[in-house]
Amino acid sequence: MLDKKLENAFNDQINKELYSEYLYLGMKAIFADLNLPGFVNWFDVQVQEERAHAMGMFDYVFERNGKVTLEAIDKPEIKGSTPLEVFEQVLEHEEFVTSRINALMDVAEEVKDRAALSFLDWYLKEQVEEESNVGGVLANLRLIGDDKKALFMYDKELAARVFNPPVIG
């Protein structure tokens, strides 16, 4: 059985993961408008990943005989309209998510729930990968600068990204 404080923290994080899905769906639309299908694909994969992250926690709460409480998802606020500006926001958002996973782990430590800590370890490692992935995209976009041909070529590279359903926990 989950401690009530930890259950509330999990519910808050489920909401944040669903917000991430919604934010990235909005960003996907920006790249569809820019006619950059590789970037659209990158965000499509990201949307699926965020949903999987939320559902992993959703299922975990039930597995621990907890109660999931869904809240309203805020409208995503997207800053910027260029690929570089959007990905700068993506990195900022992933860093925020990392801080929230750390806060969730703090609650699990506080209530001495080792099972939850073990479960959340996967999410912490995933966040390291997420920040690194976005950092790589940002480095490439900074290198590309205003070169439209290079952006077109990079778009083709991003089209190769595929969603691999995670094995969480």
Whether 163 is in a domain gets the answer no
Contact 42, 161 (CB under 8 A): yes
Whether 73 is in a domain gets the answer no
SS3 content of the chain, % helix, strand, coil (to 5): 75, 0, 25
User: How many structural domains is the chain composed of?
Assistant: 1
**For residue 127, what are the domain limits?**
4-68+80-158
123: its two tokens = 């999410």
Whether 167 is in a domain gets the answer no
Tell me the CATH number at 44.
1.20.1260.10
Q: How many other C-beta atoms lie within 10 A of the C-beta of residue 81?
A: 10
**How many angstroms separate the CA atoms of 169 and 110, rounded?**
20
Whether 165 is in a domain gets the answer no
Whether 169 is in a domain gets the answer no
Reported as a single tens digit per residue, the pLDDT across 1-13 is 899 999 999 999 9
Contact 30, 78 (CB under 8 A): yes
**pTM (two decimals):** 0.96
Reported as a single tens digit per residue, the pLDDT across 18-49 is 999 999 999 999 999 999 999 999 999 999 99
Whether 149 is in a domain gets the answer yes
Reported as a single tens digit per residue, the pLDDT across 42-89 is 999 999 999 999 999 999 999 999 999 999 999 999 999 999 999 999
